[in-house]
Amino acid sequence: MDIKALQAAAEKLDASAKKINHLNPKQLRVARLITEEHVMDEIASLLKTSRLIVRRHVHKIHGILDTKDLTQLAIVIYWKELMEDDDPGTPNRPLCELLSPKELEVAYLILDESSNREIGVRLAIALDTVENYIQHIFNKLGMSSRIEVAHYVVREIFFATHTIYSPVPQ
């Protein structure tokens, strides 16, 4: 992904992150619990409410933040946390050093809210191949979920657009 594409992704994340201020405290708590990869039943239990109420909160959150799935919601929350962190740490090892070119494309499409089927269509590859690429990404990065992969990609975009660090080889 070139620097212009990284900047465009950062601008999109910035726009969604600004909308987080429109969430009420309960919605913000639900959003943060989703970022921590809690499932609906766990969130309902932690908030001492029903799963239906949690689903309603999630639906309202999607409307406010203009997200379409839980992965994208978690990405926006994580981006805002990075932006507000006085010490976001050090950059990850660049993805271009860890993944094959096709795996890198798949990782960025995960961030772009694409389902496995959508990734297959965009890259003109079979669904089984997409699933294999995702499993390879999980294995290479030592991760087990799309949210973890998305967080890694978000950190790369953050450091590429907010510091001197550049993940794109020169």
pLDDT digit string, tens, across residues 2-24: 678 778 888 888 888 899 999 99
Residues 38, 40, 42, 46: what is their CA dihedral angle, to the nearest 10 degrees? 100
Whole-number Å distance between alpha carbons of 96 and 98: 6
Class of the CATH domain delimited by 95-162: mainly alpha
Whole-number Å distance between alpha carbons of 138 and 67: 24
- Say what angle helices 51-65 and 70-84 make with each other, to 10 degrees: 60
Q: Phi, psi (5° rounding) for residue 37?
A: 70, 30
pLDDT attached to residue 170: 41
b or e along 129-159 (b: 16 or more beta carbons within 10 Å of the residue's beta carbon)?
bbeebbeebeeebeeeebbbbbbbbbbbbbb
pLDDT digit string, tens, across residues 50-87: 999 999 999 999 999 988 888 888 888 889 888 888 88
Amino acid identity of residue 109, one-letter, is: L
Is it the case that residue 89 has pLDDT exceeding 90? no
From the CB of residue 61, how many other CB atoms can be counted at a distance below 10 Å?
24
Distance, CA of 117 to chain centre: 18
Any idea which fold 3-84 has? Rossmann fold (3.40.50)
pLDDT attached to residue 87: 81
Is it the case that residue 145 has pLDDT exceeding 80? yes
Task: Domain ranges for the chain, please list them.
Answer: 3-84, 95-162
User: Rounded to two decimals, what is the model's pTM?
Assistant: 0.77
pLDDT digit string, tens, across residues 17-50: 899 999 999 999 999 888 887 888 999 999 999 9
